């Protein structure tokens, strides 16, 4: 299917506040949304950081009350969401500010969903199940990767089924996304690497997605270029503000791209692995991405050629297929350069999981927009390669 | 074809994912939606409010139902409105609109109404054709009701009845309308319960009022300032009544016809002692009343009002006086009997011996006269004793033909000596042609003795020329013939202010150890028992004149 088949396109985005010290806008932003008492969602890893205190300080300065909640883990669980929603309702807050990476942001979205729609988060798994507006949400992102601060997605682990649930709804798009490059400094090299490759996978998958459109393509392309140029430096040096800032912009662009163009098989599969093993989403993506690209190559070689170009590869004179191959090798090289040079088994993934996870991945929403039709066997083959 | 289907399916999925057909849900539309609901709910509350406002506490149930029926269509569909109430263990159709001719009938046990009672829960129904066929409820059949909202009326967790709202439309009542009908039912339950309680209170109030009114004695509730709070309108024979219908403000004006509070009022005493009090009042008219004061306390032991109970005891006092008089006579009789017995034997000897000496002859002329005197005096003694015995005899003899002149003579035999001893002349002026009257001689004795002794007492302070005249006469009047016996004296007379009181029991002008105040009241009683009366005329300083009037032909009752 090519783009001309989709006659209508749509692009959604929150208000975005980007830049050095953008975090100082959090109080006023909340005030503008009519908030009186803020439910601040963060996680144990970041709650002690100085900029969580800064967020609270800005809220204070705006004359807002708040309650801080951080009872969550990475790959947030349905039970944590339920507790958070209970806490939110009990606290009589009327707006949510999430501070952190994908986990607190997705948790915040889910808490907001239950707060006004009731029930449990499982009720909203799938597409457009939310029927009532959510409380105002402001997302202060601290990782350049997930892009969750701008998307219409929330990924929550169903603890019993050991499975990631994907919740998709226009209503999950936050009201305001605040992206302040200063916040990136605090991350270690491994996390910077993982989130960086995560952003790259967002950009590449949304670029070749069946739902891609000109508005999302521009952002995907820009993200790929920025990541190829800056990720290595960002991982290399904690205080390289220029590189960090560029990575943040890349993550934001990728987020906007995939929020509108959706993703592909890499994410459909990675969701299963992460749900099972509680792994960092970025790493899994980084490992799976080149293998999925190989599988998809015949469906969108032309686009991969452009990806290769964006990543700085010289494709002049190469055939379409060879040029596309360049993109795959460029991704591999980048991953290796920043230290992701291992397979899935290094992260505790076992062969036995493959049949089950391959089947499950077929039910993931992301598989729909993958450019090449895939069945369970196809996905299993990819898993084997990536071991 | 199949391929096209797949393409379309995928296109549809992708459209869903990218959200072509969905948007972020807007708060404005949500608020609008909620607002509409709130406005709707407000309207309904307003209607409930109006309905409740329309219902008065003394309205009948069918009136209540009618009011609700008028308003209800503004809030929900309503083709039929019915009310069934629990009576003992039955559920009775009590009121309905429109009428389906089953008012007063018990609701069939299989009815949905009973289900509401059993489950104590509001429910809405939309009946299928089949369900309708099995329903026995007349309104469902007659009115072709399809939708029903049935709410139990609950008071203090008891189901007292069921409210039934029906519509001919299908699915007329949404689940969320249960809340409204539930509220309506709750309010109606309160109204019905209130009406029931009100009736109960009203009934017991009427009961008390009737009890209060049934008493023939005047009973008044008065406050501390003698204002009448409530009274039972029994005013017979009280002085307040004399000047037409008295004003019902102050007790002294209403009852006693006075302008100021009564001199002997015990209100202060009641307040002081916090206890009931009692006084006896004798009016100049001779009426005697017992007046009781019972304080009514507020919860804090302060007196809130006083119950004033007035009892006419005139008759009772008269009886008491007569009783005392006859007690007195009984004592005299007992003594007289003893004296008579003791005197009879010696007198028999005195008279017998004197007669024997007379019969033997050979007595000097002088002695015959002396002996004859002894015999005469002896016989007179025996007669006096006999009269005394007769006078004091207790048994109620039937009336017999009696000559009043004889009564006068017999009385004089008893008291003449006493009177003469006070240097009083008795002048007899008796009509020798008096017809007999039907009378109790002993009682008339009493009357005349009383009058004579009173006349003597009235002469106590006269220095000389003390005189009592006894006159007997026939008086002819329109109503028939009367015998009158008048006893007049030329003593001190009776002061004008006392002339009304002299016949009152226990009234006396004499010193306490001499008079009991019983004589005249008892005498009047006796005269009246004979169909007669006692008349009095008195000129202070010149003497008094009492006349016993006895009809010649008195029909004994």
Helix (H), strand (E) at residue B339: helix B314-360
Please tell me if residue B24 touches chain A, with a CB cutoff of 8 Å.
Answer: yes
Q: Which of A6-15, A287-296, B480-489 has the lowest mean pLDDT?
A: A6-15
pLDDT value for A4 = 46
CB within 8 Å: A170 and B7: no
Residue A2 confidence (pLDDT) above 50: no
CB within 8 Å: A10 and B17: no
Mean pLDDT of B316-327: 77
Residues whose CB is less than 8 angstroms from the CB of residue A333 and which lie 6 or more positions away in sequence, other chains included: none
Residue B325 confidence (pLDDT) above 50: yes
Give the full edge-to-edge strand order of the sheet including A126-127. Answer: A126-127, A163-168, A153-158
Name the percent of chain B lying above pLDDT 90: 3
CB within 8 Å: B24 and A128: no
Mean pLDDT of A194-218: 92
pLDDT value for B312 = 85
pLDDT value for B394 = 46
Please tell me if residue B157 touches chain A, with a CB cutoff of 8 Å.
Answer: no
Specify the 3-state DSSP secondary structure of A312: coil
Q: Where are the alpha helices (DSSP H) in A75-127?
A: 78-91, 102-117
A321/A187 Cα distance (integer angstroms): 38
Interval B215-261: pLDDT, tens: 888 888 888 888 888 888 777 777 776 656 666 778 888 888 788 88
Residues A293/A294/A300/A301 CA torsion (nearest 10 deg): 120
A135/A94 Cα distance (integer angstroms): 6
Which residue in chain A has the smallest CA separation from B4? A1
In the A/B pair of chains, how many CB contacts fall below 8 A?
A: 58
**Cβ atoms A265, A361 nearer than 8 A:** yes
CB within 8 Å: A262 and B23: no
Q: Which of A166-180, A266-280, B10-24 has the lowest mean pLDDT?
A: B10-24
Mean pLDDT of A164-179: 90
Interval A322-369: pLDDT, tens: 999 999 999 999 999 998 888 888 888 899 999 999 998 998 888 989
Q: Where on the phi/psi map is residue A357: left (φ > 0), alpha (ψ -120 to 50), or beta?
A: alpha
CB within 8 Å: A170 and B11: no
pLDDT value for B557 = 44
A226/A214 Cα distance (integer angstroms): 18
CB within 8 Å: A1 and B7: yes
Residue B443 confidence (pLDDT) above 70: yes
B92/B118 Cα distance (integer angstroms): 15
Which residue in chain A has the smallest CA separation from B33? A132
Mean pLDDT of B288-297: 87
**Cβ atoms A256, A216 nearer than 8 A:** yes
**What DSSP string runs through B487-521?**
EEE-S----GGGTTTTTSTT---S-TTT--S-HHH
Q: Which of A219-223, A276-280, B75-79 has the lowest mean pLDDT?
A: A276-280
Residues whose CB is less than 8 angstroms from the CB of residue A238 and which lie 6 or more positions away in sequence, other chains included: A185, A187, A188, A189
B283/B503 Cα distance (integer angstroms): 12
Taking contacts as CB-CB distances below 8 angstroms, the residues of chain A near B24 are 12, 133, 170-171, 173
Q: Which of A173-182, A231-240, B25-34, B512-521 has the lowest mean pLDDT?
A: B512-521
B106/B86 Cα distance (integer angstroms): 9
Residue A3, preceding peptide bond in cis (omega within 30° of 0): no
Interval A85-105: pLDDT, tens: 999 999 999 999 999 888 899
Provide the 8-state DSSP code for A175. S
CB within 8 Å: A130 and B25: yes
Q: Supply the ipTM of this predicted assembly.
A: 0.75
Cα radius of gyration (chain B): 48
Residue A3 confidence (pLDDT) above 80: no
Closest CA to A216 of A174, A167, A169, A255: A255
Residue A218 confidence (pLDDT) above 90: yes
The residue among A7, A210, A217, A256 with the most chain B CBs within 10 A of its CB, best to mutate, is A210
Q: What are the helix and strand counts (H, E) for chain A?
A: 14, 9
For chain B, give the number of residues: 557
**Cβ atoms A311, A325 nearer than 8 A:** no
Distances (CA, A) of B273 to A139, B127, B268, B300, B302: 84, 75, 9, 16, 12
pLDDT value for B391 = 64
Q: Where on the phi/psi map is residue A128: left (φ > 0), alpha (ψ -120 to 50), or beta?
A: left
Cβ of B359: how many Cβ atoms within 10 Å? 8
To the nearest whole Å, the CA of B10 is away from the closest chain A CA by 7
pLDDT value for A204 = 95
Burial label for B35, CB within 10 Å (0-12, 13-18, 19+), is exposed
Specify the 3-state DSSP secondary structure of B438: strand
Residue B341 confidence (pLDDT) above 80: no
B137/A235 Cα distance (integer angstroms): 82
Residues whose CB is less than 8 angstroms from the CB of residue B431 and which lie 6 or more positions away in sequence, other chains included: B405, B472, B473, B474
Residues whose CB is less than 8 angstroms from the CB of residue B3 and which lie 6 or more positions away in sequence, other chains included: none
pLDDT value for A47 = 62
**What DSSP string runs through B7-22?**
HHHHHHHHHHHHTTT-
Interval B147-204: pLDDT, tens: 888 888 888 888 888 888 888 888 888 877 788 888 888 888 888 888 888 888 989 9
Residues whose CB is less than 8 angstroms from the CB of residue B274 and which lie 6 or more positions away in sequence, other chains included: B295, B297, B301, B303
Beta bridge pairs of residue A167: A126, A154
Q: Which of A116-130, B29-43, B144-158, B506-520 has the lowest mean pLDDT?
A: B506-520
CB within 8 Å: A368 and B18: no
To the nearest whole Å, the CA of A172 is away from the closest chain B CA by 8
Please tell me if residue B3 touches chain A, with a CB cutoff of 8 Å.
Answer: no
Which of A1, A10, A368 is facing B20, going by the closest CB pair?
Answer: A10
B354/B352 Cα distance (integer angstroms): 5
Interval A272-309: pLDDT, tens: 888 788 777 788 888 999 999 999 999 999 999 999 99
To the nearest whole Å, the CA of A368 is away from the closest chain B CA by 7
């Amino acid at each position: 299917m090519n783009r001309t088949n989709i006659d209508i396109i749509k692009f959604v985005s929150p208000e975005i506040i980007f830049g050095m010290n953008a975090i100082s806008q959090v109080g006023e932003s909340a005030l503008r949304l009519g908030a009186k008492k803020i439910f601040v969602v963060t996680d144990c890893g970041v709650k002690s950081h100085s900029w969580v205190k800064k967020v609270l300080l800005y809220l204070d300065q705006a004359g807002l009350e708040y309650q801080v909640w951080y009872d969550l883990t990475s790959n947030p669980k349905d039970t944590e969401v339920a507790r958070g929603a209970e806490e939110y309702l009990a606290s009589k807050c009327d707006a949510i500010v999430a501070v952190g990476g994908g986990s607190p942001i997705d948790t915040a979205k889910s808490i907001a969903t239950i707060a006004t729609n009731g029930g449990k988060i499982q009720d909203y798994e799938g597409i457009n199940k939310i029927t009532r507006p959510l409380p105002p949400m402001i997302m202060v992102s601290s990782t350049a990767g997930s892009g969750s601060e701008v998307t219409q997605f929330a990924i929550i682990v169903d603890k019993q089924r050991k499975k990631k649930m994907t919740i998709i709804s226009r209503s999950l798009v936050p009201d305001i996304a605040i992206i302040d490059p200063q916040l990136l400094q605090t991350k270690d090299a491994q996390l910077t690497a993982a989130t960086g490759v995560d952003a790259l996978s967002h950009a590449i998958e949304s670029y070749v997605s069946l739902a891609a459109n000109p508005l999302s393509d521009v952002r995907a392309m820009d993200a790929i270029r920025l990541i190829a140029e800056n990720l290595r430096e960002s991982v290399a040096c904690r205080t390289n503000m220029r590189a960090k800032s560029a990575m943040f912009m890349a993550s934001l662009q990728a987020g906007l791209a995939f929020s509108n163009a959706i993703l592909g098989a890499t994410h459909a599969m990675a969701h299963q692995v992460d749900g099972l093993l509680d792994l960092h989403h970025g790493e899994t993506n980084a490992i799976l991405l080149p293998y999925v690209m190989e599988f998809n190559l015949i469906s969108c070689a032309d686009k991969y050629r452009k990806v290769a170009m964006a990543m700085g590869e010289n494709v002049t004179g190469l055939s379409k297929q060879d040029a596309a191959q360049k993109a795959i090798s460029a991704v591999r090289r980048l991953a290796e350069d920043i230290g992701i040079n291992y397979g899935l088994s290094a992260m505790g993934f076992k062969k036995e999981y493959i049949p089950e996870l391959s089947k499950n991945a077929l039910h993931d929403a992301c598989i729909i927009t993958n450019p090449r039709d895939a069945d369970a066997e196809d996905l299993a083959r990819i898993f084997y390669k990536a071991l | 074809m199949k391929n096209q289907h797949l393409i379309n399916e995928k296109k549809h999925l992708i459209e869903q994912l990218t959200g072509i057909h969905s948007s972020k849900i807007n708060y404005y539309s949500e608020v609008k939606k909620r607002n509409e609901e709130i406005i709707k709910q407000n309207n309904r509350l307003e209607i409930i409010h109006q309905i409740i406002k329309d219902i008065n506490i003394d309205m009948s149930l069918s009136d209540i139902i009618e009011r609700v029926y008028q308003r209800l269509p503004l809030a929900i569909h309503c083709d039929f409105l019915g009310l069934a109430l629990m009576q003992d263990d039955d559920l009775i159709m009590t009121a309905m609109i429109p009428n389906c001719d089953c008012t007063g009938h018990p609701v069939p046990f299989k009815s949905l109404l009973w289900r509401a009672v059993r489950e104590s829960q509001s429910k809405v129904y939309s009946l299928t054709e089949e369900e309708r066929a099995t329903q026995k409820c007349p309104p469902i059949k007659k009115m072709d009701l399809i939708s029903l909202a049935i709410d139990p009326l609950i008071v203090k967790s008891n189901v007292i009845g069921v409210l039934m709202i029906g519509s001919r439309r299908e699915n007329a009542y949404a689940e969320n309308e249960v809340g409204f009908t539930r509220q309506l039912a709750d309010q109606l339950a309160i109204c019905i319960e209130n009406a029931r309680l009100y009736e109960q209170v009203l009934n017991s109030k009427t009961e008390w009022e009737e009890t209060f009114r049934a008493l023939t004695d005047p009973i008044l509730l008065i406050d501390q300032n003698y204002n009448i709070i409530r009274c039972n309108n029994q005013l017979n024979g009280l002085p307040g009544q004399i000047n037409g219908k008295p004003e019902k403000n102050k007790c002294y004006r209403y009852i006693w016809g006075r302008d100021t509070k009564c001199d002997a009022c015990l209100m202060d005493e009641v307040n002081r002692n916090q206890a009931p009090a009692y006084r006896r009042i004798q009016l100049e008219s001779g009426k005697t009343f017992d007046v009781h004061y019972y304080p009514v306390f507020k919860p804090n032991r302060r007196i809130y009002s006083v119950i004033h109970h007035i009892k006419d005891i005139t008759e009772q006092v008269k009886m008491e006086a007569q009783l005392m008089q006859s007690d007195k006579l009984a004592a005299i009789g007992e003594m007289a009997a003893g004296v008579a017995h003791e005197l009879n034997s010696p007198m028999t000897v005195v008279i017998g011996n004197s007669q024997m000496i007379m019969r033997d002859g050979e007595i000097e002329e002088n002695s015959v006269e002396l002996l004859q005197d002894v015999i005469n005096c002896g016989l007179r003694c025996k007669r006096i004793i006999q009269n005394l015995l007769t006078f004091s005899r207790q048994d109620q003899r039937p009336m017999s033909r009696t000559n009043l002149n004889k009564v006068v003579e017999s009385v004089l035999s008893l008291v003449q000596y006493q009177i003469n001893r006070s240097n009083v002349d008795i002048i007899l002026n008796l009509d020798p042609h008096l017809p007999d009257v039907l009378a109790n001689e002993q009682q008339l004795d009493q009357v005349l003795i009383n009058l004579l002794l009173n006349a003597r007492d009235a002469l106590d302070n006269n220095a000389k020329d003390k005189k009592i005249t006894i006159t007997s006469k026939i008086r002819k009047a329109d109503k028939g013939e009367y015998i009158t016996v008048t006893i007049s004296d030329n003593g001190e007379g009776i002061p004008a202010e006392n002339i009304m009181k002299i016949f009152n029991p226990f009234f006396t002008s004499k010193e306490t150890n001499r008079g009991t105040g019983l004589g005249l009241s008892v005498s009047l009683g006796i005269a009246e028992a004979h169909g007669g009366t006692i008349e009095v005329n008195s000129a202070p300083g010149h003497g008094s004149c009492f006349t016993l009037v006895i009809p010649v032909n008195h029909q004994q009752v």
